């Protein structure tokens, strides 16, 4: 009974290889993940975003541990944030990316520090008043730095008056404001935090998304108050 071969069980001699299939497969041939240049560009961009997230997370850890100078951290972080935004400015890449949480889940990464930095959209040294740059008064500050900061405040407020209320119009201008202010003083002046909070708000908007009329008025008021706070540090 136990020695009888079941009718449905294959024998060592019952399998006939598919010679046509084996003839078309070359085990030494490189497997291509993409078939077109567009697909290759898309995968390259997604791979770069993946690398940016991991690198940014490592950078944040190094900064927290004081293993990197503030100036080097700020420069590197700014570059990574710009590269991240640049990759996602392509509609095809943005569509495949969906959003940060979806991308992280798909590729099984966590990177909480990078996630927070990408949410804020600013280096930690810019988000918080840095003490690496000496605070300067009008007698020692380079006049060109004060002038640049003043002009950036005025340019931003003028943009609001001209009803330029989309993210892609306002975010670069407000970034110029906070960076130029930090070049002048490290003092956490009155309403400086408002600049940072609005930068975070704008950073989380879609590129073409616009502020409401109420938001625009509130933003204008907050930045005017921050401007007055900035000028007070120069006295």
Least confident segment among 42-46, 130-134, 226-230? 130-134
- Indicate the pLDDT class of residue 133, thresholds 50, 70 and 90: very low
Q: What pLDDT was estimated at residue 150?
A: 96
A 10 A CB-CB count for 59 gives 22
Quick check: is 9 in a domain? no
Q: How far apart are CA 90 and CA 44, in angstroms?
A: 13
Q: Which residues contact 175 (CB under 8 A, 6 or more apart)?
A: 122, 199
What is the residue range of 138's domain? 131-232
Q: How far apart are CA 22 and CA 17, in angstroms?
A: 8
State which of 126, 161, 188 marks the end of a domain. Answer: 126
Quick check: is 10 in a domain? no
Q: What is the pLDDT of residues 183-193, one digit of tens each?
A: 898 888 999 99
Are 223 and 135 in the same domain?
Answer: yes
Q: Of 170, 61, 49, nearest to 124 (Cα)?
A: 61
Quick check: is 17 in a domain? no
Q: What is the pLDDT of residues 150-197, one digit of tens each?
A: 999 999 999 999 999 999 999 999 999 999 999 898 888 999 999 999
Domain count of the fold of the chain: 2
Quick check: is 80 in a domain? yes
State which of 126, 148, 165 marks the end of a domain. Answer: 126
Predicted TM-score of the model (pTM): 0.74
Mean pLDDT of the chain: 85
Quick check: is 111 in a domain? yes
Are 221 and 177 in the same domain?
Answer: yes
Q: What pLDDT was estimated at residue 199?
A: 96
Are 135 and 121 in the same domain?
Answer: no
Q: What pLDDT was estimated at residue 235?
A: 78
Q: Of 140, 150, 125, nearest to 63 (Cα)?
A: 125
**Angle at the Cα of 207 from the Cα atoms of 192 and 124, rounded to 5 degrees:** 35
Q: Of 200, 205, 208, 195, nearest to 169 (Cα)?
A: 208
Are 85 and 136 in the same domain?
Answer: no
Quick check: is 112 in a domain? yes
The CA-atom distances, in angstroms, between 208 and each of 64, 96, 165, 211 are 34, 19, 9, 10
Q: How far apart are CA 126 and CA 78, in angstroms?
A: 10
Quick check: is 92 in a domain? yes
Quick check: is 59 in a domain? yes
State which of 74, 96, 126 marks the end of a domain. Answer: 126
Contact 45, 37 (CB under 8 A): no
Average pLDDT in the 14-25 region? 51
What are the tokens at 81? 């944030």
Q: What pLDDT was estimated at residue 28?
A: 61
Which residues sit opposite 210 in a β-bridge?
166
Contact 129, 192 (CB under 8 A): yes
Q: Give the CATH number for residue 74.
A: 1.20.1440.200
Are 148 and 217 in the same domain?
Answer: yes
């Amino acid at each position: 009974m136990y020695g009888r071969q079941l009718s449905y069980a294959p024998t060592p001699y019952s399998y006939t290889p598919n010679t046509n299939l084996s003839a078309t497969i070359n085990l030494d041939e490189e497997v291509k993940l993409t078939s077109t240049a567009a697909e290759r560009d898309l995968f390259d961009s997604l791979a770069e975003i993946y690398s940016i997230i991991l690198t940014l997370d490592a950078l944040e850890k190094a900064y927290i541990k004081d293993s990197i100078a503030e100036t080097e951290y700020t420069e590197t972080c700014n570059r990574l944030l710009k590269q991240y935004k640049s990759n996602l400015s392509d509609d095809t890449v943005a569509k495949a990316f969906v959003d940060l949480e979806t991308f992280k889940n798909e590729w099984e990464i966590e990177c909480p520090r990078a996630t927070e930095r990408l949410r804020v959209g600013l280096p930690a040294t810019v988000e918080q008043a840095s003490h690496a740059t000496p605070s300067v008064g009008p007698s020692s500050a380079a006049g060109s730095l004060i002038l640049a900061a003043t002009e950036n405040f005025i340019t931003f407020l003028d943009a609001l008056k001209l009803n330029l209320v989309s993210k892609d119009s306002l975010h670069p201008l407000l970034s110029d404001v906070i960076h130029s202010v930090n070049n002048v003083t490290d003092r956490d002046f009155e309403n400086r935090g408002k600049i940072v909070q609005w930068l975070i708000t704008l950073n989380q908007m879609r590129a073409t998304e616009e502020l409401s009329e109420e938001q625009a008025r509130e933003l204008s008021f907050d930045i005017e108050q921050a401007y007055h706070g900035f000028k007070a540090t120069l006295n």
